[in-house]
């Protein structure tokens, strides 16, 4: 299958071959790529929509030096995870699914990094299970602290109505602008768009001001200065108003879809400093 070959091609970019683990649960089989010291603190990585767990190839070397990394293929989205006919239908189901992933790490509490849609999942889980999350990192979280730009939504609409490789590429190339996207990863995303079933995802609602103010975990929000999904300054202001203790970093020369790949060195420095600090 083209998708499996494309997936493996990106996985070869990881600094070491990860251990592929399939977790069976009520909603299906969740595929997780695992690497790093077995006796270190678990770190769960949740990718953006359609990106798959392979997208962290520029980050796992830095992160797996001091964390046991669990990179997840989101159930219902592109990747090697397979729903079993009982799809997740609510945020409660999503939290149950996340609980099962944390359980597989063998730890009561984990750190979590989520990007885009993965950040929405990570934030919802931290709000519902603050006792299970130590440190939380949200990479350019959309629809979590502020709305998305109308211009982006209009650009994304043709892809949502009738997905195709060409429409996926046009949207990514427009949003990332001058950023250089890895060609193998871009091919994987395109194949996932055309060859796999449409995503069947639970989308958490944007949390209320009250819920965000009550968030009781250590939080880092990393924003893409050049992103076209939302306004980084607006999101930054919203985070600081609602969660004053949160750390906010804005990366230059980064777009919504190019994080975590560009600028990887700067992002890795920020992530390691936060997680180890």
Question: How do residues 31-61 score in pLDDT, each as one tens digit?
Answer: 999 999 999 999 999 999 999 999 999 999 9
d(CA 207, CA 186): 31
Nearest to 94 by CA among 193, 200, 6, 17: 200
pLDDT value at 1 more than 90: no
pLDDT value at 130 more than 90: yes
Burial bucket for residue 171 (CB in 10 Å: 0-12, 13-18, 19+)? buried
pTM of the predicted model, to two decimals? 0.97
pLDDT value at 85 more than 80: no
Helix (H, G, I), strand (E, B) or coil at 88: coil
Q: What is the 3-state secondary structure (H, E, C) of 110-171?
A: EEEEEECHHHHHHHHHHHHCHHHEEEEEEECCCCCCCCCCHHHHHHHHHHHHCCCHHHHHHH
The reply to whether omega before 136 is within 30° of 0 (cis) is no
Residue 176's pLDDT band, with cuts at 50, 70 and 90, is very high
């Amino acid at each position: 299958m083209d998708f499996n070959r494309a997936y493996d091609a990106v996985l070869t970019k990881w600094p070491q071959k990860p251990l592929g683990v399939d977790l069976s649960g009520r909603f299906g089989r969740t595929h997780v790529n695992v690497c790093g010291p077995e006796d270190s603190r678990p770190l769960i990585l949740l990718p953006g929509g359609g990106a798959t767990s392979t997208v962290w190839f520029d980050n796992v070397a830095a992160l797996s030096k001091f964390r046991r990394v669990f990179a997840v293929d989101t159930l219902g989205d592109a990747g090697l995870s397979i729903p079993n006919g009982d799809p997740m239908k609510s945020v409660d189901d999503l939290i149950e699914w996340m609980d099962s992933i944390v359980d597989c790490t063998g730890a009561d509490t984990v750190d979590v990094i989520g990007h885009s849609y993965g950040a929405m999942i990570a934030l919802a889980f931290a709000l519902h299970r603050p006792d299970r999350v130590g440190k939380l990192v949200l990479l350019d979280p959309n629809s979590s602290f502020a709305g998305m730009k109308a211009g982006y939504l209009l650009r994304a609409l043709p892809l949502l109505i009738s997905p195709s490789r060409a429409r996926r590429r046009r949207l990514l190339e427009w949003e990332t602008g001058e950023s250089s996207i890895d060609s193998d990863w871009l091919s994987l995303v395109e194949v996932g768009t055309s060859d796999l079933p449409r995503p069947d995802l639970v989308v958490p609602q944007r949390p209320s001001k009250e819920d965000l103010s009550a968030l009781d975990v250590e939080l880092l929000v990393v924003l893409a200065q050049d992103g076209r999904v939302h306004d980084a300054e607006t999101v930054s202001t919203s985070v600081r108003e609602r969660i004053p203790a949160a750390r906010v970093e804005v990366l230059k020369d980064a777009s919504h879809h190019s994080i975590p790949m560009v600028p990887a060195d700067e992002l890795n420095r920020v992530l390691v400093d936060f997680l180890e600090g």
